[in-house]
Amino acid sequence: MRNTIMLMEKARHDLVEFGKRLVTANLTKGTGGNLSVFDRENGTVAITPSGIDFFEIRPEDIVIIDLDGKTVEGTKTPSSEWEMHLMPYRHRNDIDAVIHAHTTYATVLAVLRQDLPPSHYMVAVAGPNVRCAPYATYGTHELAVNSYEYMKDRRAVILANHGILSGAQDLLNAFNIIEEVEYCSQIHYMASCMGKPHILPDEEMTLMAEKFKTYGQRKSNA
């Protein structure tokens, strides 16, 4: 009988679950976006496949790749933006999960090529602000480099004319960052329609960063 044990089995199920949550929470549309989890001990990455609806992805469709982007296990094609996921895993020790989504309001800022300033204190889940990285074609090395550089010292980055990327210690916190940055982007957009938002000072965001070391971190039940 064929051995049905798969590499990174829990990560596969988590990726399926959180992919669906992106859609049901209205944080992306159709096949827009991708998710991954890094097994730091074994140096492997579980990543969603390319071009499959999130509600059709099965655990066995998740692709396992190494840090060079080579397929270790799986028959599907990994997300075309796999290198954008690998850059943080290669160079940061605080990120073991990455989510990319095409949210509405963060993408409004992306189209305007604007950073998200700290007009709301919850921006602190990602950093003192969320930078907008220069535009690059999706799935390219240039996009991977731009997203990595502009997410330094941050846990999220806006991708010009594209969407948003977040990174955290696990999928739950990466998802939370996407949610909060999208909410803050919506508030900033709406406030900007009425006037000029008041931006919180650096010292307040430094205080928020300290407070969020505990408050801003969600714990998985697993």
Rounding to the nearest 10 degrees, give the CA dihedral for residues 125, 126, 127, 131: -150
Predicted pLDDT at 29: 83
Predicted pLDDT at 2: 43
- pLDDT band of residue 214 (cuts 50, 70, 90) is confident
Read off the pLDDT of residues 182-210 as tens digits, 9 standing for 90 and up: 999 999 999 999 999 999 999 999 999 99
The overall average pLDDT reported for the chain is 94
Q: With CA atoms as reference, report the closest residue to 101 among 20, 162, 191, 45.
A: 162
Q: Which residue's structure tokens are 């959180």?
A: 18
Does residue 59 surpass a pLDDT of 60? Answer: yes
- pLDDT band of residue 219 (cuts 50, 70, 90) is low
* Phi, psi angle pair for 112, to nearest 5°: -80, -10
Read off the pLDDT of residues 3-43 as tens digits, 9 standing for 90 and up: 567 899 999 999 999 999 999 999 998 788 999 999 999 99
Exposure on the CB side of residue 203, measured as CA atoms within 13 A: 0
Q: With CA atoms as reference, report the closest residue to 32 among 160, 133, 165, 145.
A: 165
Predicted pLDDT at 217: 63
Does residue 216 surpass a pLDDT of 70? Answer: no
Predicted pLDDT at 208: 95
Residues of the chain with pLDDT > 90: what percent? 91
Annotated catalytic residues are: 81
Predicted pLDDT at 220: 61
